[in-house]
Amino acid sequence: MPTTGVFNIITIDKLILLVKRNDVPFWDLPGGTLEKDEDYLTCLKREAFEETGLFVSPTKKVGTFYNKQQNDQQIVYCSQIVGGELIISGPETNELKFFSIYKLPLNLIPHRRMQIKLALKNLPPLQQNIRDNFLVQLFKHQKKS
């Protein structure tokens, strides 16, 4: 059974909200692991609130991305802010920041740049296979050691 993560692309004008994770030194979309007996949208909203302090509502599904190497699938949605108050950091995050969609950080979780670009193109939801590059594989190997 693959692990499943559900992630939010939260934009305001031409800015996107990213979180800097505690477990890896990378920026990422707000989101996380689907819990047992939880549906995708409940996970999406829960993770957004836990990591950002914001209440969100999904506006469209970007797609499902499969990583066979990691036995992992990532479900990505565009979401709009409907309430809450932005926090500075959370239990799983060191920092939150809005970035220009044209100047994303270099240390962005792999594949997020592509997922963000797909979201901005307004395509129908897609299914796509993804692979970790060599540096990510090396980082994950070092982390296990």
Q: Is the pLDDT of residue 134 over 60?
A: no
pLDDT tens track for 71-87: 889 999 999 999 999 99
Highest mean pLDDT among 6-15, 60-69, 102-111: 6-15
pLDDT exceeds cutoff 60 at 136 = no
Mean pLDDT, range 44-59, rounded to an integer: 96
pLDDT: is 133 or 16 the higher one? 16
Residue among 81, 86, 98 nearest 27 (CA): 98
Domain range for 119? 3-144
Cβ-based neighbours of 128, under 8 Å, separated by 6 or more: 63, 64, 65, 66
- CATH code for the domain of 55: 3.90.79.10
Helices (H), the chain: 40-52, 112-120, 134-144
Confidence of residue 69 (pLDDT cuts 50, 70, 90): confident
Structural domain count of the chain: 1
pTM, two decimal places: 0.86
Mean pLDDT of the chain: 89
pLDDT at 139 over 60: no
Q: What is the mean pLDDT of residues 21-49?
A: 93
